[in-house]
Amino acid sequence: MNPEQAEHLGHVLRTRRTELGLSTHRVAELAEIDQATVVRLEAGSIASPRPDKLSRLAKALDLSGADIFALADYTVPRDLPALKPYLRAKYGHFSAEDVERIDAYAARLAKRHGAQLDGPNPGEDEAL
């Protein structure tokens, strides 16, 4: 992201936060990120913000994650993540053993129904 994009993203974030009547401290709490990160993003001084932080910030400010990613010059993935990385990201409190159990169970269900978890399923348009 170039400096102008970083400044524009910061302006959008700051404007929305102000519209909601939230402090940078409160937004940081809601997004589970450091307050300094919120301040630096709003100032346009972070050229490559982490996608996970942007996503949480968008949610905290009730903004479209896709719009925020576009402002940050990130492409929004069209496909979904594999089950294990998704579970680790969404449910970080699950143990590695729990994630393995869930993944194994999902694989058994997929096999029973003739689906693949790691590629296109029968009848899916691979061009999508």
Question: Considering the domain boundaries, does residue 127 fall inside one?
Answer: no
Residue 11 has pLDDT above 90, yes or no: yes
Q: Is the confidence at residue 68, as pLDDT, over 70? A: yes
Asked if residue 85 and residue 64 are part of one domain, the reply reads no
- What would the two tokens of residue 114 be? 């003739």
Residue 29: pLDDT over 50: yes
> Residue 77's pLDDT band (boundaries 50, 70, 90)?
low
Q: Which of 71, 90, 108 is the last residue of a domain?
A: 71
pLDDT mean over 4-14: 93
Under 8 Å between Cβ of 109 and 101: no
Give CA torsion, residues 73, 91, 42, 48, to 10 deg: -40
Domain boundaries, position 10? 3-71
pLDDT band at 92 (very low <50, low <70, confident <90, very high): confident
Examine the domain organization and report whether 92 and 61 are in the same domain: no
CATH of the domain at 39: 1.10.260.40
Are both 59 and 12 inside the same structural domain?
yes
| Mean confidence (pLDDT) of the chain | 86
**Same domain for 12 and 64:** yes
Question: Chain centroid to CA 60: how far?
Answer: 12
